[in-house]
Structure formats: structure tokens, C-alpha cells
Amino acid sequence: MPRPPKPLDEPLRLATLQGLGVLDTEAEERFDRISRMAQRLFEVPICLVSLVDAKRQWFKSSLGKVRISLRGTLADTAIGVQGI
């Protein structure tokens, strides 16, 4: 499957993400609150909050039985979809 083109605003998205100062940091309660709220709202057993930079995906919160052992992610595909 060919990779989708990068969105035109990708440099701005990456700069904004870096500016937040949340990559390479410990878990934070504020992200766990978002996960708990989404878990209740959508009635799902597992909920994750992840941030995607240019080369990796960083999990800031995970609730439920989660085993993450992925070599790669669908980040390129997901970010390439308009509206996400």
C-alpha cells in the first residue's frame, strides 16, 4: 500500500506538538482523565492517548489490558486521512 502524502500543515502540527513539551515525559494525570472520560463515554474496555511525532508514537495514557508490541504503527496512514 503506498503511503499517503503528508498534510500541508504537518510542519505546523509537529512544531505545536514539540512546543507542548509532553514528549519523552512520564505519564500525567491529565491524560489519564481524558482516557477515563473517553472510556466511559464510548463504553470501551481499553483506551489510549497517544501522540505522534515525525518518527514515533508516544503513549501518554493507557487504560485496560493493553499489550503494545508493534514494530510500527498506522500513524502514516491515520495522519494522511483528511480530517484527522
Q: How far apart are the C-alpha atoms of 46 and 44, rounded to whole Å?
A: 6
Q: Which domain holds residue 59?
A: 10-80
Q: Own/partner pairs for 11-18, CB < 8 Å, 24+ apart?
A: 14/53, 14/54, 17/51, 17/52, 17/53, 18/53
> Band of the pLDDT at 66, cuts 50, 70, 90?
confident
Q: Is residue 66 part of a domain?
A: yes
In a domain, 48, yes or no: yes
> How many domains does the chain divide into?
1
- Specify the higher pLDDT residue, 47 or 82: 47
Assigned domain for 51 exists: yes
**Residue 3 within any structural domain of the chain:** no
Flag whether 44 is in a domain.
Answer: yes
Within a domain: 4: no
Does the residue 68 lie in any domain?
yes
**DSSP state letters, 45-74:** S-EEEEEE-SS-EEEEEEESS-----SS-S
Q: Within a domain: residue 28? A: yes
> Does residue 77 carry a pLDDT above 80?
no
